[in-house]
Amino acid sequence: MFLRPLILLICVLLMSCTPSSSEKTPKAVLVIHGGAGWISRGSVSDSMEQAYVNTLKESLLKGRALIKSGGSSLDAVQIAIEHLEDSPLFNAGKGSVFTYNETNEMDSAIMDGATGNAGAATGIATIKNPIQVARAVLDHSVHVFLSGAGAEEFALEQGLTQVDSSYFFTQNNFDKLLEAKASMKEVKQDKLGTVGAVALDQNGNLAAGTSTGGMTNKRYGRIGDVPVIGAGTYAENGVCGISATGHGEYFIRYVVAHDIAARIKYANQSIEKASSEVIENLKTNGGLGGVIGLDATGTVVMPFNTKGMFRGYISLDGEPVVALYSDD
């Protein structure tokens, strides 16, 4: 007679001791990436691996410090990306790859989830931090997307730092260009690097930003997904913030960042389900890469379909968590 109530009691106790899926998923105020695709365990030296880890952690700590002090998610995204742009380790800013014409053409975007405002720029060649151009467009332009000479002229009017093109020269990236030209490949795709950040501030506002040097050996003014709002970058309060990295043509075709948001908003999918399905669908159709994201509760996602992705997140009070490889 007491067997059924006893079984029910045991089931209730087991359920109370088992963490829910939301408890298993990390919560954060900032998540970043430094590119997906080429890295696998053993492909870089221990010292280089540590350099990547240290730079990612520094970026997370800078962004989190701003949020902790009451700063906005937009500012946190910008400062986190600036730190990665200032490093030659990543394909953005200082470490940008070379075009066929042996120049650097950089793209960036940033979006405010609270207002829906966005700024984007492409073909940046002499502005030290391309993410600052995107932010200036968001804050001070009636337009959303500026390109080339017009974007640079606008950046200078806003007082942004201009540098000589030699600032962006790195021997490793130049060697990659020569290798690509020698092999007669128009685009070298072993390094699908980009940097990005998504933040959730203490007012519940989401923001996302992305910055890239594009693809080695690219021609004809090619533009990837990074500055295309909804493809490589998207943020909407109450839904999610997303920053993408990978083969941009596919991210544009499948409007990846907005597709994830739409699945959450209209199909009531969790950010985990939405992002993982979109990235898996991308792979099925030939697209390589990944995304980082946060939802309105700070749930972290970092799915990718390549050998590795530089990535990390940080909570309001915890230590930075960084990973590089698919088995991390």
Runs of H (alpha helix) within the chain: 3-17, 21-24, 46-68, 73-85, 130-140, 148-157, 171-182, 248-253, 256-266, 271-284
pLDDT band of 43, cuts 50, 70, 90: confident
Domain assignment present for residue 230? The answer is yes
Domain assignment present for residue 20? The answer is no
Which residues are the active-site residues? 194
Domain assignment present for residue 174? The answer is yes
Specify the CATH number for the domain of residue 297. 3.60.20.30
3-state helix, strand, coil split of the chain in percent (to 5) is: 40, 25, 40
pLDDT at 227: 97
The pTM of the whole model exceeds 0.85: yes
Quickly count: other Cβ atoms within 10 Å of residue 284's Cβ.
9
- For residue 154, which of 171, 138, 176, 173 has the smallest C-alpha distance? 138
Contacts of 216 (CB under 8 A, 6+ apart): 97, 98, 173, 176, 177, 180, 187, 188, 191
Over the chain, what is the mean pLDDT? 91
pLDDT band of 24, cuts 50, 70, 90: low
Domain assignment present for residue 41? The answer is yes
Quickly count: other Cβ atoms within 10 Å of residue 211's Cβ.
36
pLDDT at 314: 98
Domain assignment present for residue 3? The answer is no
Domain assignment present for residue 280? The answer is yes
What is the mean pLDDT of the segment spanning 54-69? 98
Range(s) of the domain holding residue 192: 32-325
Quickly count: other Cβ atoms within 10 Å of residue 54's Cβ.
13
What percent of the chain shows pLDDT beyond 90? 82
Query: How many domains would you assign to the chain?
Result: 1
Amino acid at 272: E
pLDDT at 19: 35
pLDDT band of 326, cuts 50, 70, 90: confident
pLDDT at 39: 77
